[in-house]
Structure 1
């Protein structure tokens, strides 16, 4: 699956209506974004079961601001509508693959229960 461009109009629905969504916040003038683009595209082709989205921060400044994007590229991962990862900086292919594997295997319910137990302690 190729990447999908997201705007403020479809961002929230995309995150909440898909099991796993990766979002690359990027800009046309950003060198590291240009380097990360092919890595991200290759991962999208290798993982057709995941939504790979891109947000051009210059075209979607309000969305970038709402998502608290301070630098580009920034990768955000949402699982079942919950943001489980957000980090600025370009990733190598192997690091992105590892991150995708971790996101796929994450049990949100167990993580939530564990977090609640930690708060009670």
Structure 2
């Protein structure tokens, strides 16, 4: 698989995403449903944004790993949150995860009225191999 990052500007670098990702000769593409802070028993978290973001990332990583892919190959990551302000208050945690995994992804952030029950953040990804 070959990835090419397209960034006509540099300002997005501080925000942990890229403007576009071109993928050539991929062996496979994994489209992942929105992952949230729901535990293995199917119970949604009622924790704060930071704790939900941690569990959401862990759940996303588990799906990626169980499918035989790697987080570093996330090419699209949509973020849904009930509060952009709360999400950005723990944005450093998100950026550390992006940097730790060497992820270069196109991203869109959506603030929504609600998510399932008590949830406040959801991550939807596309991963290539």
What's the TM-score, normalizing by structure 2? Answer: 0.32
Report the structure, 1 or 2, having the larger strand content: 2
